[in-house]
Chains A and B, each alone.
Chain A
Amino acid sequence: MLSAVLHPGLLVIAGGLALAACSGRLRAVIALGAPLAAAALVVAAPDGVLWSGSYLGFEIVPYSVDRLSRLFALIFAVMAFGGALFALKQPSRLELPAALVYAGSAIGATLAGDVVTLFVFWELMAVGSTLVIWSAATPSAYRASMRYMAIHLLGGVVLLAGIAGHVSGTGSAAFVRFALDTPAHWLILAGFLVNAGTPPLSAWLPDAYPEASWSGMVFLSAFTTKTAVYVLLRGFPGAELLIWIGLFMVFYGIIYALLENDMRRILAYSIVNQVGFMVTGVGIGTEAALNGAAAHAFTHILYKALLIMSAGSVLYATGRRKCSDLGGLFRTMPFTTICGAVGALSISSFPLTSGFVSKSLTIQAAGDQQLLAVWLLLGAASAGVFLHAGIKYPWFVFFQKDSGLRPPDPPLSMRLGMALFAVLSIGLGVFYEPLYALLPFAVDYVPYTGWHVVSQLQLLMFSGLAFFAMLPLLRRTLTITLDTDWTYRRLAPALVDGLAAALEMAGAALARAAHALSGGIVGFVERHHGIEGVLARTWTTGGMALWVALMLAAYLLVYYL
């Protein structure tokens, strides 16, 4: 059996390491071949435990497969292939190897049957993704990668503490469903949520991802957050808290994306928004909702990568990221415009796109459970997705005003990467049965009914009306909007500076007081023992005799008393 010797994740990681030494045609063959081989391995792998062993007395399972892990490992492998195709023109010698190590670690994390293996791949992902950001080789990318790594190492430590608590409490390292009953399990949840981009530690995502290169952000958009969705699906299905966390993420993403001027930061906030839908599905926790979250992760990886590829092509061609500098690019970049529009329609869940057949599963599940508030909020959020990612992004980048820029469409390998994901996004929207067949539970939902199509079209078309009617309110300005990263980029340094200044002042005051005190002592000593001091000056013999007589008298007095 091939699966006894070959692990899809390790295969992609090995491919990435080999890639570092390759160039030219061999580089392309390995970069495309390793993810393809991994995809084939994942599809061919049978259900069950494939690798197991023991480590520190615990049973560990580095390779186990079920329906859920196969779904995620497969889409990660497909994503690595499409991303590598798009990135073939990337001159950086570091980025593609790092991206494959990152992708392979994500595949490894989804195939991990125990929490120790999961943690190892989890940390390897942090290293790989940091290197992907780093390889953009700009000063701002370097600084962002350091902030990114700090947050992920913090998340890793929290997760490790939780895992250690869980293993010592239960004596088992198996990756099972956790109840929120012990501090250890809360820590595990917190560690997972850091990678999902959950507020308050969410700003790492829009802070760091847009600083990557035109191809680097494509990889980043897929693996970290979706691995987090996967572990939440496996570890915390039905944890009600996740409904509210997810809904918060959904609206946080929309609001910040609406305020944003940088096209790649718009798409980064949109990742948080989309992951919010999935987290909400995990929180609802019924089979239909878990199917919805899993299907949404699958399709989201494709259309979000497509959107970020179109933005990457614009960045590649123009060197610009700000909406206020862009516009009118449809004239000379028709291919990129069409691919970007397909991604925009898919993320908005237009009928005949992959978003329509996946996101509606979650919303339907909320309705089935008669969760009116959740259902209403998800509906408003769907309208908001069309607003920020479906229209705002393509409108300001490709249409809007004529910026005067006339860049050409990108090179063939980049166009092929976009074409592949555009075809998949439409294809899965039309032929959705293969996707439904891959989901963890049997699907009892028909996406294409007259009612579903009409109500979705109403929602989206009237959202479009709201966008164009309120366009003056959405005019782009050269601004950013403060996010929680302000606390560690401005507040914490200010506090440290303030503390340093206060300590300096206190030190100076202390020195002054010490000086005054020592001056006083010196004066006292000098008054008494100095040249003219009372105890140092020459005394007369008579005076001495008088003092001796007085002391003798005092002694006699005390003696007789």
Chain B
Amino acid sequence: MNDHWLARPTTVRLLWGAFIAALALTVAAEFVVEHEAQFTLERVFGFSAWYGLLACAALILFSKGLGAFFKRPDDYYGEQDGDA
């Protein structure tokens, strides 16, 4: 396979490694910066990290649930002219 270097499995593995390292780094950085929390809740360790993770998981699950009721085939209105 002579694919683009960015799409090669070795690169993708490398990117995942870098991503996980970056995740760890952002949490670790909390030890060195000066706290400016506006709420006591914010002082919980890694608040933004786990709050972001949970918020996104909740949003994805909620949208899945909503989709179960309101999703329709994309020619539902019978006037989608393909990709025009």
Interface residues of A (CB under 8 A from B): 138-140, 143, 251, 254-256, 258-259, 261-262, 319-322, 325, 328, 330-331, 364, 367-368, 370, 372, 375-376, 379-380, 383-384, 386-387, 402, 449-467, 470, 473-474, 477-482, 489-490
Contact = CB atoms under 8 A, between A and B. Distances in A.
Contact of A451 (B33, B57, B58): B33
B39 to A, nearest CB: 6
A454 B71 CA distance: 38
Given A255-B59, A478-B73, 17 more contacts: A139-B81, A140-B80, A322-B74, A380-B55, A449-B36, A450-B29, A451-B33, A451-B36, A454-B26, A458-B47, A458-B48, A461-B26, A462-B48, A462-B49, A466-B57, A479-B71, A489-B77
Given A330-B6, A380-B51, A489-B77, A387 B83 contact: no
Nearest to B33: A450
Interface in B46-73: 46-53, 55-64, 66-67, 70-73
Q: Which 4 A-B pairs have the closest CB atoms?
A: A450-B33, A367-B38, A466-B56, A380-B55
Interface centre among B39, B55, B56, B67 (most CB of A within 10 A): B56
A259 B67 contact: yes
B74 A473 contact: no
Given A321-B83, A367-B38, A470 B52 contact: no
A466 B53 contact: yes
B79 to A, nearest CB: 5
B35 A451 contact: yes
B32 interface: yes
A315 to B, nearest CB: 8
Given A255-B59, A320-B83, A470-B60, A461 B34 contact: no
Nearest to A258: B63
Contacts, number: 170
B13 interface: no
A379 B80 CA distance: 36
B84 interface: yes
B71 A481 contact: yes
Given A455-B47, A458-B46, A462-B49, A140 B55 contact: no
A461 B49 contact: yes
Interface residues of B, number: 53
A464 B3 CA distance: 25
Contacts of B61: 473
Contacts of A379: 48, 51-52, 55
Contacts of A321: 83
Contacts of A477: 71
A100 to B, nearest CB: 25
B77 to A, nearest CB: 6
A473 B64 contact: yes
Contacts of A465: 19, 23, 53
Nearest to B35: A451
B34 A467 contact: no
Contacts of A457: 26, 29
Given A466-B56, A489-B77, A458 B39 contact: no
Interface centre among B23, B55, B62 (most CB of A within 10 A): B55
Given A259-B67, A322-B83, A449 B52 contact: no
Contacts of B23: 461-462, 465
A320 B83 CA distance: 5
B79 A480 contact: no
B7 to A, nearest CB: 7
B71 A259 contact: yes
A466 B52 contact: yes
B70 A482 contact: yes
Nearest to A255: B63
A264 to B, nearest CB: 11
Interface centre among A139, A453, A461 (most CB of B within 10 A): A461
Contacts of B81: 138-140
B72 to A, nearest CB: 6
B61 to A, nearest CB: 8
Interface centre among A256, A259, A457, A477 (most CB of B within 10 A): A457
A166 B19 CA distance: 57
Nearest to A468: B19
9 contacts: A255-B59, A258-B60, A375-B38, A376-B51, A380-B55, A454-B33, A461-B19, A465-B23, A466-B56
A473 B26 contact: no
A474 B60 contact: yes
Contacts of A380: 51, 55, 58-59
Contacts of B56: 383-384, 386-387, 462-463, 466-467, 470
Contacts of A375: 38-39
Nearest to B30: A454
A379 B37 CA distance: 13
Nearest to B83: A320
Contacts of B64: 473
